[in-house]
Amino acid sequence: MVLEITDDFDLDRIADSGQCFRWERLADGSYRILHGELCLYMERRGETAYSLSCGEAEFESVWRGYFDLAEDYSAIRGRIDPARDPFLQTAAEQEKGIRILRQGAWEMLITFIISQNRNIPAIRRSVELLCEMSGEEKTDCRGRPYHAFPTADAVAALSEAQLRDCRLGYRCRFVHEAAAAVAGGKLDPDRLRDLPGEEACRTLMELSGVGIKVASCISLFGLHDLDAFPRDVWIKRILENEYPEGYPLERYAPYNGVYQQYMFAYYRGRERKKGEISHAEAV
């Protein structure tokens, strides 16, 4: 089907934003998007037009929500005060098109436990290995195989050796414990959406391997709490360098997480570019 999107929407920026680890950019610039047990091919076809491999019914029941198309991101950007927050203003302008996907709470729980102390390529690899190890085998609409994100039961049933083979390192125990908690009914990740943000975070942090940063990521990307504000190494640097007097969280509630994403992507992209330049000079 063909879809018109007039609000901010940029597949490349979403793919690079560090919230989804099962998107694959194909040679022609289109994307193969894995989400839970589903697969979608999506391609830009002009200024605001996109072609999607799904039909209207699946789009309405799954993908419209997944891409958070009911939210007006242009309006969220418009709330930035350029006089008081020039850095944020620039970041949002540069990274316009990022959206906060509505991904599965369980999937984000495991994904962000895996993410700790690792870079994005390594996260992708482990998530993919875990899916291959325990996710249901499927075939997409082009006849290409893929693995669904595994259920909690499937992950909980994995042996320590199998988890180790997913290159999880010391996170094996964390992943297994979280899966066991969900499989055993002690934790229902979806029900966390019913709790106030702070309480959801506190509940998540009862799991070993889930600290404040991972809990914030799960809240933002898995529970769609747009006010969650993950403080990773990059954001800490930004706050030190750009906001020595303190970052105005109150001014930007309840969308702090969206602004965090603009700043994170902008700063990381800028530093990466610097690295490339100095590398080129060295060569």
Partner DNA sequence: AGGCAGGCTTTTA
Partner DNA sequence: TAAAAGCCTGCC
Is 6 near DNA (CB under 7 A)? no
CA-CA distances (angstroms) from residue 203 to 26, 210, 216?
38, 10, 12
Cα separation of 154 and 136, whole Å?
A: 9
Q: Of the candidates 216, 225, 152, which has an alpha carbon nearest to the alpha carbon of residue 194?
A: 225
Is residue 220 within 8 Å of residue 100, measured between CB atoms?
yes
* Residue 213 a catalytic site member: yes
- Which residues, in sequence order, are CB contacts of 169 under 8 Å at separation 6+? none
- Contact residue for DNA among 155, 181, 235, 238 (CB under 7 A): 235
Is 96 near DNA (CB under 7 A)? no
Is 209 near DNA (CB under 7 A)? yes
- # residues near DNA by CB under 7 A: 39
Is 215 near DNA (CB under 7 A)? yes
DSSP string, 49-108: EEEESS-HHHIIIIIHHHTTTTS-HHHHHHT--TTT-HHHHHHHHHTBTB------HHHH
CB of 282 to DNA, least distance (A): 11
Is 219 near DNA (CB under 7 A)? no
Is 104 near DNA (CB under 7 A)? no
Between the two ends of the chain, the Cα-to-Cα distance in Å is 47
147, containing H or E segment: strand 145-147
Site for DNA in 242-261 (CB under 7 A): 260-261
Is 281 near DNA (CB under 7 A)? no
Is 85 near DNA (CB under 7 A)? no
Residue closer to DNA, measured from CB, 127 or 154? 127
Which candidate in 96, 213, 236, 274 is catalytic? 213
Residue closer to DNA, measured from CB, 3 or 176? 176
- Contact residue for DNA among 175, 217, 223, 258 (CB under 7 A): 217
List contacts with DNA (CB under 7 A): 17-19, 115-122, 125, 164, 167, 169-171, 205, 207-215, 217, 230, 232-235, 260-261, 264, 268, 275, 279
Q: Which residues are catalytic?
A: 213
